[in-house]
Each structure stands twice: as C-alpha cells, then as structure tokens.
Homo-oligomer: A and B are copies of this chain.
Amino acid sequence: MARQPRLHEFRLIEQLRRAFGRTGAAVARGIGDDAAVIAPPKGRQMVLTTDLLIEGVHFDLRTASFEEIGYKAAIANLSDIAAMGARPEYALVAIALPASCTTPRILRLYKGIMGACRPYRVALIGGDTSVSPNKLFLSLTVTGSVPAGCALMRSGAQAGDLLYVTGTLGDSLAGLALLSHGRRRATPSLTSSERKFLVGRHRRPIAHPGLGQLLSEHRLASAAIDISDGLSGDLHHLCEQSRIGVEIDAAALPLSPALQAYARASRTDPVALALQGGEDYELLFTVPPAKRRTLHRLARRAGRRLTCIGMIRPEAFGVRVRETTGRLRRLPVTSYVHF
C-alpha cells in the first residue's frame, strides 16, 4: 500500500505527446486523456491488430538497440495491416520498462516506433506505461482502414489460384545468423556489402501497406497473409483458413544474391532458408489466374517485385514443395523463434 508520486511517468507522457502526438480533423483527442477519440473514415471498415515484443523472447538487448526494437515492433503491426490490404492510421503503445531504461533510451524506443510509422503518417494516439519487474515488454496496437468489403482475409484462396510473394525470402534469417556469435568466421567468403544487406534486412525490415492496398482496392488477391513466422508456417495458416492445399515451386522462390552467397559460404540450403526464415515481413497472397495480367501491370507500374511461387491445390493435396529435382515432398509446419 505504499504510494508514490508518478511525476516521472507524467513527464514522459507529456514528452511523447509533444514529440509524436497529433490532433487534427480525424483525431479529436490523442495522448493525454482516458482514451483517444478518432473519426473513422467514411465508407471504410476499421482494421485492428496487436503485437507483443518481449525481451528474452523476441529480442535481446545485447544485440538490438532500443530504436531497432521499437522499429521492429511497429513493422510487425504495420505488416499485419498491410496483409489485410488496409491503410495504417493510428498506433497505441503499451510499454513496461525495467529500472535500467533511462528516459533517453525510452525516447529512442519511441523514435524507432515512429520512424517505422512515419512513411504512412500513422499517428501515436495513446498507450500506457508501467515499470517492469525485470524484462522490457512492448505491446503495440495499430489500426487502419480499408474500403468496406475489400479487406484481404486468409480464407479466400481457391484451388487454381496462383501463389505470390513480394520481395525476397530468407534474408532476415541469414542476417540474424550473421549477428549471432561465431558466424562471421564461418562465412569468410561473404563480401561486406552482402553481409550489410542481410543484417539490414534483419534489423530494418519493411512492411508493404502500399502493395496491400493495391491488392485490396483492385480486388486482385483472393487471400493474403504476411510472412512473420516464416513462409512454411504462414502458408500453413493460409491453407488451414482457406481449406486448401498448395504446391510450392522451389526453383521459383525469390532469393537475393546475398542470400545465395550466404548459403554457399555457410553450406546451408538456400531453399530451406527461404521456406523457414521468419521476420521477412513480405506479403504472401493468392490471385485468380484471370487477374494475373492486371496484377503484373499494376505491380510494374508501382515498381514492386512480385514472384509467383506456386499454385493453390485442393485441401487433400496438403502443403508440398516441388524440388528442383522434380520430386514432390511434404512441407512440415515449422515456426520461427526470433533469436
């Protein structure tokens, strides 16, 4: 029943409000009240997602900076919004801080969060702060909006649809491996720019709300999910929700030159890295064949790299990979552990 002044917390909230708060036509009330008040955009549905990041589970303070932790927490949420085909709009940040977190560190964490949000003009409208008994704990809620009826679900894929992915796969996992102890010596043939590319893909992944909106607004995708737990794990979610099977073409998986160099240097299978690598934050989506040409035209115009990596099959087919040898094998459900 001890009581203590919490002026420190109030000062922090005031600093955050000044640095990152925004009010305007759509935000009637931001940081500093019991709750935020916003005007939802007309004719649109709201999209809401929450993601947790916990020290010792999702990040390690010995290898990640405070700004990077904040940045990646925001990207995880923005990527979920992108996977719904929605435009990200608002963020609420709940954070529990161990005693070792000084105010400059906390501000760097928020700088990371808002750095990831800035390209999309996402406003920080609220949150909660608390002390933590030991570990740093971060929970973000991000909202967005999508034209009514246009949200991309995991459940709409049908046999015959084409399976697409944005960008390249496995880079983040290779970057994480390079950051881990002892891997530098194991891959002496990697150039420093390859190293930098892969580590950068792990430390500063990007989300794809622009492409997500293109897919939803032009009604191109029948289903979508983002790759946070690894292609293999997230593909299984898509299959489960759409009640479909899928055939992945291993030879088609988009691999960056740096990942290929890493795989050679570390004597690992680049296809395995692409299938299991988490935190890519690329979009995985299905497209009816009749919409293929429109998709390619719009993606080219938007300057976005898309790759068709397989085809949706009936549920009984399961989830299988066509290897480069032509052999078809089952893809086991694996899930990414963050470090």
Task: Please give the residue numbers on chain A whose beta carbons come within 8 Å of chain B beta carbons, in ascending order.
Answer: 1-7, 28-29, 32-40, 45-52, 54-58, 79-81, 83-84, 86, 90, 92-96, 125-135, 137, 139, 141, 143-144, 146, 148-149, 151, 153-155, 173, 176-177, 180, 224-226, 229-230, 233, 241, 276, 333-337, 339
A126:B48 contact, CB within 8 angstroms: yes
Query: Which residue, of A1, A35, A81, A339, has the highest number of chain B Cβ atoms within 10 A?
Result: A35
B50:A139 contact, CB within 8 angstroms: yes
> A137 CA to B95 CA in the complex, in Å?
10
A225: which B residues are within 8 A, CB to CB? Answer: 34
- How many whole Å from A283's CB to the nearest CB in chain B? 10
With known contacts A35-B83, A51-B94, A80-B34, A5–B137 Cβ distance under 8 A: no
A45:B28 contact, CB within 8 angstroms: yes
Selected from B3, B28, B35, the residue in CB contact (under 8 A) with A80 is: B35
With known contacts A276-B3, A337-B3, A45–B50 Cβ distance under 8 A: no
A143: which B residues are within 8 A, CB to CB? Answer: 48
B35:A334 contact, CB within 8 angstroms: no
A336: which B residues are within 8 A, CB to CB? Answer: 3
